[in-house]
Copies of this chain bind each other. A is one copy, B any other.
């Protein structure tokens, strides 16, 4: 099967680029002297996860219980579920732990800590919990210097069947940075906050084996990882146009693209349409944060075979199944007749990939130019 024979729209994963991205991050994290616990919320794929943990400790990060169940069924045991747990989800968690999963939870709330205590007291299953720290994003998490940290730690550490595993933070505000220096500053704030929280726990007599931080921009640009035990980047595996805008990926490093077909020409308006619209690309407009060519609308349009940009072709707008392709130059209608295929690099690959059940895998290091489909890798969607 060749890329030209695929029905469109479909999701393409370049294994060569993926492998290089993974190897680079593994080397980077080794240099930082911490463990890499890759976040699988982007790829949601056991095949990708196996590559991502190679040469690392084997632990992974997930964002949903559905991911935790899927990865456990695919042989992964050591998992951190890095979104605030709510009491109603503890039964699903306990079922997974009883099957053998080493699943760590996070919380930033004393009421939830008490609910975990009550649940585990009644159930008898020991659950592992980290306290989430707010390192400046002001999303979820307790302040490293505030009273809630010790209050929650006291409840968890005092519970008969709870293991207090440490502290975890996520500097999502690194995505608001526009320079490597700013990202390094956020990484330092992140590190300082979570290490301060860990020190307070230890100074008060609580255990804190895990000190977890991470986002792709922070890990790439951090000056120092002292005091951390692990980092949890995720998007680095694939990259996307937002990361190109941030400067953390080049276009020729992006591993995932949407294969689409030209479905209509509007020559008088210098426009054409492809069959990848809002559902196939997502409505994410992350690159609107950038100026000029770094704002690629809903995606950058590239050659289907070489994956190289075609002039400045990009998706200006989307309907459900239609993507409008425009350019500041005359569009190459002869090169892109109706039915011609293109590859679109998305703004935000986490959102785009979620529309698909599988990756069609190519290898751009192949002699054939990377257009042969060498495998199909599944994904786990939903909750």
Contact = CB atoms under 8 A, between A and B. Distances in A.
A297 to B, nearest CB: 14
A202 interface: no
A260 to B, nearest CB: 10
A20 interface: no
A339 B284 contact: no
Given A320-B41, A355-B354, A266 B138 contact: yes
Interface residues of A, number: 59
Interface string A207-229: 00000000000000000000000
Contact of A86 (B112, B263, B382): B263
A2 interface: no
A273 B320 contact: no
Interface string A188-215: 0000000000000000000000000000
Nearest to A276: B383
A83 B278 contact: no
A294 B226 CA distance: 48
Nearest to A172: B319
**Chain copies in complex:** 2
A76 interface: no
Interface stretch (A7-15, A49-57, A247-255, A368-376): A7-15
Residue of A8, A64, A324 with highest tally of chain B CB at under 10 A: A64
Contacts of A383: 7-10, 280
Contact of A261 (B41, B88, B261, B283): B88
Interface in A353-379: 354-357
Contacts of A322: 83, 139-140
Interface string A336-357: 0111000000001011001111
A180 B147 CA distance: 56
A203 to B, nearest CB: 25
A92 B139 contact: no
Per CB-CB distance, the 6 closest pairs between chain A and chain B, nearest first, are A84-B263, A283-B283, A140-B264, A86-B339, A283-B284, A63-B321
